[in-house]
């Protein structure tokens, strides 16, 4: 008989969480450790990693801090050589430059593409190869609601998130026969250091809150349930999917409630 209580158990699994220094990445690292995974906590900025490792240990988990720039293929290779074989990859980093498309210059365009799309590609390619050789693994990439819905000033960011989603679907098709699953998560608006400037503008902050069915922003820990689900055997038949954790943002059509 299948042991349903073990579906979310990550004991004996090794996870690499990139972007673990803050926000959703930090929460994901702590959450995976709480369910038993050994977590390699990686970030280009090491300042927040000590706090992440402390939080991992406070949950009774194990992990270590690693410096990693996912835009550097050689650096990714060196980091992976120092890790135990990975069962789980979580990739969260991205940047956005809020400008109309006609005002965005080539340097800004390349900066967004270089991290969000190219960096994700390099990371999933390097980790995916090892997982394919071992015949197991779960790759979890972060997209966004902007993969399917946009607003002024987010054209290139949205394009990268749509691109990540399509790359993940292609990799899911390619690695499925080898036992590797690949999925993306699309958060809505989440309170993180990246979105802090919006919180300082009450009208903008409230407009985003009102757009969701739940009428509020998410906290990073509210995204972790989906991460753990996709990392675990609970999602053993889930691959190539875009999983929304958006408070109903993409389900609600517009902000105006008509008289009914």
Which H/E stretch holds residue 6? none
Residues 6+ apart with CB under 8 A from 203: none
Report helix, strand or coil for 195.
helix
Whether 4 sits among the annotated catalytic residues: the reply is no
**Catalytic residue chosen out of the listed positions 38, 40, 157, 208:** 157
| Residue 18 Cα to chain centre, angstroms | 8
Q: Which residues contact 3 (CB under 8 A, 6 or more apart)?
A: none
CA dihedral over 157, 158, 164, 170, signed as positive or negative? negative
Q: Is 63 exposed, middle or buried (0-12, 13-18, 19+ CB in 10 A)?
A: buried
- For residue 193 the two structure tokens come to 């250091």
Q: Are 231 and 32 in contact (CB under 8 A)?
A: yes
Distance, in Å, from the CA atom of 243 to the CA atom of 46, rounded to the nearest integer, reads 29
Task: Report the distance separating Cα 117 and Cα 217, nearest Å.
Answer: 26
Contact 74, 90 (CB under 8 A): no
What kind and span of H or E run contains 215? none
In 3-state terms, what secondary structure has residue 153? coil
95 vs 32, 85, 114, 252, CA distance in Å? Answer: 24, 29, 10, 26
Catalytic residues: 157
């Amino acid at each position: 008989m299948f042991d349903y209580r073990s579906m979310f158990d990550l004991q004996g699994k090794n996870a690499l969480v990139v972007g673990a220094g803050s926000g959703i990445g930090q929460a994901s690292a702590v959450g995976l450790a709480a369910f038993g995974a050994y977590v390699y906590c990686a970030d280009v900025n090491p300042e927040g990693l000590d706090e992440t490792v402390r939080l991992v240990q406070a949950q009774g988990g194990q992990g270590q801090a690693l410096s990693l720039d996912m835009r550097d293929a050689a650096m990714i290779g060196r980091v992976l050589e120092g890790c135990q074989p990975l069962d789980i990859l979580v990739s969260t980093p991205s940047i956005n430059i809020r400008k109309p498309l006609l005002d965005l210059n080539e340097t800004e365009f390349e900066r967004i593409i270089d991290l969000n799309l190219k960096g994700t590609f390099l990371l999933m390619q390097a980790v995916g190869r090892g997982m394919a050789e071992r015949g197991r693994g779960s790759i979890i990439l972060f997209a966004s609601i902007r993969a399917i819905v946009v607003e002024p000033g987010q054209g290139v960011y949205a394009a990268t998130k749509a691109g990540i989603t399509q790359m993940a679907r292609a990799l899911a098709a390619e690695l499925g026969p080898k036992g590797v699953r690949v999925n993306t998560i699309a958060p809505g608006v989440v309170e993180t250091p990246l979105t802090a400037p919006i919180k300082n503008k009450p009208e903008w902050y409230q407009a985003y809150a009102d757009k969701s069915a739940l009428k509020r922003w998410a906290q990073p820990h509210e995204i972790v349930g989906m991460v753990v689900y996709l990392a675990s055997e609970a999602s053993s038949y889930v691959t190539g999917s875009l999983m929304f954790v958006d408070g109903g943002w993409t389900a609600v059509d517009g902000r105006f409630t008509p008289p009914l």
